């Protein structure tokens, strides 16, 4: 029996996971990420969380975090997760641009994609690669969230139940946050020749789109609606929220991803392989 | 009963304003390997890319087994050896071939067996756990051919399968095609006319993006006149032509290249022309190297008159 779209999608995304977790290049990237994350966890994250705990009384009168624009950290009843939330929002969205840059471009340039496309549809390849990269990011996000949980439990094991809720909320939110960035890279990767080109274009498009829309919106405020099209548009608002409130903006990345994936699929269908 | 496996109608493809294919029309039936020839830039790779679903034509319709290229119904039915395509350098040969086999619908166990089988076919069994970067050009080409054999497809499109290969590997590839051609129809794009002459019964000629109106058949049994090509040793050209012309049934003798003679004859008047020619050569104590029935493919394609 011939495998259908979802079967191909699973096979292709599974192959992407293999690329990240079993090949030398993939493992090297993972080890690098793990080392960097350990440093972040042990130093800035742990130290800021300790500072928040120790200076709780002092901050009633002078709030350093409000002063630097990170007052919302204190809304999280477990400070480690408050700090993690702010760090992770920035790190994972940036990381997404590099992790997801090479979804199809180098395989297309090498000709490898031809071996795959002759056995599956372009849609399966496009969405399969996207799903694979999303699962890899979800695993990285989960691993970092779990390491933060371990840090919390090391300090106070009684916080387990409430920490578990924070862990879940943050993990879901971060996955949603990287979704449009991954979709944008999927669309770019379907068009450009290399991962580096995809990254450069992502930065250029993101910067100019934000700048142009903001510029026009200054003179004609109704145009600020178009900011909605920019991936990560909601991140600054999202950083101010805590707990379950963070899911209030979930519709933004979902809609952005839908639009970007539709665009990417259209490009992929017309691209010469 | 012969069935049409490929139908192309009014096929056009334009690259940056330049026509790569212009109004190409043809139909091909399943059967013996089919050669696709033409000079560089004639559109051979473009045509094969369109048939494989790698490229969308600018206009026109293409049907393979009644379906458009890239259709789900064609998975496992057609396969391709794209020109210059390389495997993923991060995975071993067996990992990639198993993956391809699984995409074609084989179970994991079947896929492992099939991947090993096709690597065995191309004599690369010992390299199954190697990564593509350590392979020589010839080995990489054979692996690319191996992936095209996965699942025994009915139609195999090969773009320059012997380009850059040494004579031993060329022979291996030719043997693979000859062996598999009873189970699959091959379409082979190549500049190696001698190669196609040996493998193919039918040739498609593309020139400047246009398909020549008639398909060239290598089978001349139905033709009114026939040809014999003679490769001679050093011999007096004029005398050879004169003596050959003197044999009953000979219509024309040409000398297109040094020491090569093409004899056109009427098979009704002289059904055993080869024996008559040999007798004539023997009588005059000339040396000959090779006698073959028919014209060479090069003569047929490019020196028709």
Model pLDDT for residues A56-98, shown as the tens digit of each residue = 666 555 566 666 666 667 778 888 898 899 889 999 999 999 9
Tokens, residue B245: 């012309």
Interface test with A, best of B21, B64, B88, B156 (most A CBs within 10 A): B88
Vertex A89: Cα angle to A87 and A93 (nearest 5): 120
Check CB contact under 8 Å for B52 and A122: no
A231-241 pLDDT per residue, tens = 988 888 888 88
Query: For position A65, what pLDDT does the model report?
Result: 64
- What sign has the CA pseudo-torsion B109, B110, B115, B118? positive
Tokens, residue A185: 């890279």
Query: For position A67, what pLDDT does the model report?
Result: 63
B65 touches A at CB < 8 Å: no
A28-48 pLDDT per residue, tens = 999 999 999 999 999 888 888
Residue A19 and residue A100: Cα distance in Å, rounded?
13
Interface test with A, best of B58, B88, B100, B103 (most A CBs within 10 A): B103
B261 touches A at CB < 8 Å: no
Query: For position B187, what pLDDT does the model report?
Result: 94
Vertex A168: Cα angle to A167 and A174 (nearest 5): 85
- Give the chain A residue whose CA is nearest to the CA of B51: A118
Check CB contact under 8 Å for B88 and A272: no
Vertex A53: Cα angle to A49 and A55 (nearest 5): 115
Average the pLDDT over A1-21 and give the result.
Answer: 91
Residue whose C-alpha is closest to residue B32's, from B227, B215, B266: B215
DSSP tag of B246? T
Least confident of A144-148, B104-108, B173-177: B173-177
Q: Which residue in A1, A3, A19 is closest to B103 by CB distance?
A: A3
> Is the model's pLDDT at B296 over the cut of 90?
no
The model's confidence at residue B39, banded by pLDDT at 50, 70 and 90, is: confident
Report domain B4-217's class. Answer: alpha beta
B79 touches A at CB < 8 Å: yes
Please tell me whether residue B173 adopts helix, strand or coil conformation: helix
Tokens, residue B23: 């109004």
Please tell me whether residue B26 adopts helix, strand or coil conformation: strand
Query: For position B194, what pLDDT does the model report?
Result: 78
Q: Which chain B residues touch A2 with a CB distance below 8 Å? A: 72-73, 75-76, 104-105
Residue A71 and residue B305: Cα distance in Å, rounded?
89
DSSP-derived secondary structure for B42-90: SSHHHHHHHHHTSS--SEEEEEETTB-TT-GGGBTTEEEE-TT----TT
Query: For position B94, what pLDDT does the model report?
Result: 97
Residue whose C-alpha is closest to residue B118's, from B108, B128, B109: B128
Q: Which residue in A1, A2, A19 is closest to B72 by CB distance?
A: A2
- Give the chain A residue whose CA is nearest to the CA of B153: A119
Query: For position B210, what pLDDT does the model report?
Result: 84
Please tell me whether residue B259 adopts helix, strand or coil conformation: coil
B186-214 pLDDT per residue, tens = 999 988 887 887 888 888 988 888 887 55
Average the pLDDT over B152-178 and give the result.
Answer: 89
Interface test with B, best of A3, A4, A15, A115 (most B CBs within 10 A): A115
> Is the model's pLDDT at B304 over the cut of 70?
no
Q: What are the start-end ranges of the H helices in chain A?
A: 5-22, 24-40, 46-54, 64-67, 79-99, 105-110, 112-117, 122-155, 160-189, 195-219, 235-239, 251-270
Please tell me whether residue A56 adopts helix, strand or coil conformation: coil
Hey, what CATH topology would domain B226-302 get?
Alpha-Beta Plaits (3.30.70)
Q: Which chain B residues touch A24 with a CB distance below 8 Å? A: 90
Average the pLDDT over B2-18 and give the result.
Answer: 87
> In the predicted model, what is the mean pLDDT of chain A?
90
- Give the chain A residue whose CA is nearest to the CA of B87: A112
B72 touches A at CB < 8 Å: yes
Q: Can you name the residues that pair with B28 across neighbouring β-strands?
A: B6
3-state secondary structure A186-225: HHHHCCCCCHHHHHHHHHHHHHHHHHHHHHHHHHCHHHHH
Average the pLDDT over B236-248 and give the result.
Answer: 91
Residue B31 and residue B201: Cα distance in Å, rounded?
9
Q: Which chain A residues touch B100 with a CB distance below 8 Å? A: 115-116, 119
Residue B10 and residue B199: Cα distance in Å, rounded?
28
Query: For position A71, what pLDDT does the model report?
Result: 65
Q: Which residue in A1, A26, A115 is closest to B105 by CB distance?
A: A1
Query: For position A76, what pLDDT does the model report?
Result: 82
- What sign has the CA pseudo-torsion A158, A163, A164, A165? positive
Q: Which residue in B72, B99, B104 is closest to A15 by CB distance?
A: B99
Count the neighbouring beta carbons within 10 Å of the beta carbon of residue A218: 10
Asked if A99 and A202 count as a contact pair (C-beta separation under 8 A), the reply is no
Alpha carbons within 13 angstroms on the beta-carbon side of residue B283 total 11
Please tell me whether residue B281 adopts helix, strand or coil conformation: helix
Check CB contact under 8 Å for A112 and B86: yes
* Axis crossing angle, helix A195-219 with helix A160-189, rounded to the nearest 10: 100
A103-120 pLDDT per residue, tens = 999 999 999 999 999 999
Least confident of A135-144, B107-116, B204-213: B204-213
Residue whose C-alpha is closest to residue B278's, from B251, B247, B301: B247
Question: Which residues of chain A have a Cβ shorter than 8 Å from any chain B Cβ?
Answer: 1-4, 8, 11-12, 15, 18-19, 23-26, 107, 110-112, 114-122, 270, 272-273
Q: Which chain B residues touch A273 with a CB distance below 8 Å? A: 49, 54-55
Q: Which chain A residues touch B76 with a CB distance below 8 Å? A: 2, 119
> Is the model's pLDDT at A270 over the cut of 90?
yes
Query: For position B67, what pLDDT does the model report?
Result: 95
A154-211 pLDDT per residue, tens = 988 899 999 999 999 999 999 999 999 999 999 999 999 999 999 999 999 888 888 8
Residue B83 and residue A67: Cα distance in Å, rounded?
62
Query: For position A61, what pLDDT does the model report?
Result: 57
Query: For position B172, what pLDDT does the model report?
Result: 86
Q: Which chain B residues touch A18 with a CB distance below 8 Å? A: 91, 95
Asked if B143 and B96 count as a contact pair (C-beta separation under 8 A), the reply is no
E strands present in chain B: 4-15, 18-29, 34-37, 59-64, 78-81, 155-159, 185-189, 202-207, 210-211, 216-217, 226-232, 250-257, 260-265, 288-293
Exposure string for A102-141, b = 16+ CB within 10 A, e = fewer = bbbbbbbebbbbbbbbbbbbbebbbbbbbbbbbbbbbebb
Give every strand in the sheet of B260-265, ordered side by side: B250-257, B260-265, B226-232, B288-293
Residue B263 and residue B240: Cα distance in Å, rounded?
11
The model's confidence at residue A267, banded by pLDDT at 50, 70 and 90, is: very high
Query: For position A79, what pLDDT does the model report?
Result: 87
Q: Which residue in B53, B95, B96 is closest to A117 by CB distance?
A: B53
Task: Give B103→chain A minimum CA distance, Å.
Answer: 6
B219/B130: higher pLDDT = B130
> Is the model's pLDDT at A261 over the cut of 70?
yes
Vertex B204: Cα angle to B201 and B208 (nearest 5): 160
The model's confidence at residue A244, banded by pLDDT at 50, 70 and 90, is: confident
B86-109 pLDDT per residue, tens = 999 999 999 999 999 999 999 999
Q: Which chain B residues touch A123 with a CB distance below 8 Å? A: none
Residue B162 and residue B171: Cα distance in Å, rounded?
9
Task: Tell me the percentage of chain A whose pLDDT exceeds 90.
Answer: 63
Q: Which chain A residues touch B52 with a CB distance below 8 Å? A: 114, 118
Vertex A187: Cα angle to A84 and B144 (nearest 5): 110
Residue A249 and residue A20: Cα distance in Å, rounded?
30
End-to-end CA distance of chain B: 35
Q: Enumerate the domain spans of chain B.
A: 4-217, 226-302
B249-268 pLDDT per residue, tens = 999 898 888 888 989 888 88
CA torsion A196-A197-A200-A205 (nearest 10°) is -150
> Is the model's pLDDT at B301 over the cut of 90?
no
């Amino acid at each position: 029996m011939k495998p259908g779209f979802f079967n191909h999608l699973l096979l292709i995304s599974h192959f992407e996971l293999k690329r990240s977790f079993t090949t030398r290049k993939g493992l090297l990237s993972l080890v690098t990420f793990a080392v960097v994350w350990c440093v972040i966890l042990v130093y800035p994250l742990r130290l800021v969380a300790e500072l928040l705990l120790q200076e709780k009384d002092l901050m009633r009168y002078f709030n350093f975090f409000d002063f630097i624009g990170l007052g919302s950290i204190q809304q999280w009843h477990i400070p480690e997760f408050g700090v993690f939330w702010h760090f992770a929002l920035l790190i994972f969205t940036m990381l997404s641009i590099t992790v997801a840059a090479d979804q199809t471009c180098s395989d297309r340039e090498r000709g490898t994609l031809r071996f795959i496309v002759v056995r599956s549809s372009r849609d399966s390849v496009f969405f399969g690669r996207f799903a694979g990269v999303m699962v890899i990011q979800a695993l990285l996000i989960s691993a970092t969230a779990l390491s933060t949980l371990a840090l919390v439990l090391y300090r106070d094991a009684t916080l387990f139940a409430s920490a578990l809720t924070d862990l879940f909320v943050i993990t879901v939110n971060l996955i949603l946050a990287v979704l449009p960035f991954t979709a944008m890279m999927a669309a770019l990767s379907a068009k450009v020749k290399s991962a580096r080109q995809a990254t450069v274009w992502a930065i250029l498009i993101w910067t100019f789109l934000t700048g142009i829309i903001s510029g026009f919106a200054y003179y004609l405020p109704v145009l600020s609606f178009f900011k909605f099209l920019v991936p990560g548009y909601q991140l600054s608002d999202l950083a101010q929220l805590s707990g379950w409130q963070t899911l209030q903006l979930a519709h933004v990345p979902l809609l952005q991803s839908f639009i970007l994936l539709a665009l990417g699929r259209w490009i992929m269908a017309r691209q010469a392989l | 009963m012969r069935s049409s496996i490929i139908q192309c109608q009014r096929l056009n493809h334009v690259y940056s304003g330049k026509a790569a294919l212009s109004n190409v029309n043809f139909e091909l039936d399943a059967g013996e390997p089919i050669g696709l020839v033409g000079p560089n830039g004639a559109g051979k790779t473009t045509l094969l890319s369109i048939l494989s679903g790698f490229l969308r034509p600018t206009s026109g319709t293409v049907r393979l087994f009644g379906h458009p290229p890239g259709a789900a119904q064609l998975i496992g039915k057609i396969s391709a050896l794209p020109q210059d395509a390389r495997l993923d350098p991060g995975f071993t040969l067996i990992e990639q071939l198993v993956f391809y086999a699984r995409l074609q619908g084989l179970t994991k166990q079947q896929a492992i067996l099939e991947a090993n089988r096709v690597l065995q076919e191309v004599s690369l069994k010992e390299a199954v756990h190697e990564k593509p970067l350590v392979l020589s050009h010839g080995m990489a080409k054979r692996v690319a051919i191996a992936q095209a054999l996965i699942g025994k497809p009915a139609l195999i499109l090969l773009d320059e399968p012997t380009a850059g290969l040494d004579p031993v590997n060329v022979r291996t590839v030719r043997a693979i095609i000859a062996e598999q051609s009873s189970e699959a129809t091959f379409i082979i794009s190549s500049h190696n006319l001698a190669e196609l002459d040996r493998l193919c019964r039918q040739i498609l000629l593309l020139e400047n993006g246009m398909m020549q109106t008639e398909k060239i058949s290598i089978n001349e049994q139905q033709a009114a006149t026939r040809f014999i090509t003679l490769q001679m040793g050093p011999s007096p050209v004029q005398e050879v032509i004169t003596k050959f012309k003197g044999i009953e049934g000979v219509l024309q003798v040409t000398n297109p290249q040094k020491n090569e003679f093409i004899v056109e004859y009427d098979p009704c008047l002289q059904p055993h022309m080869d024996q008559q020619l040999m007798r004539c050569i023997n009588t005059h104590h000339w040396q000959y190297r090779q006698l073959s029935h028919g014209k060479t493919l090069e003569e047929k394609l490019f020196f028709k008159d």
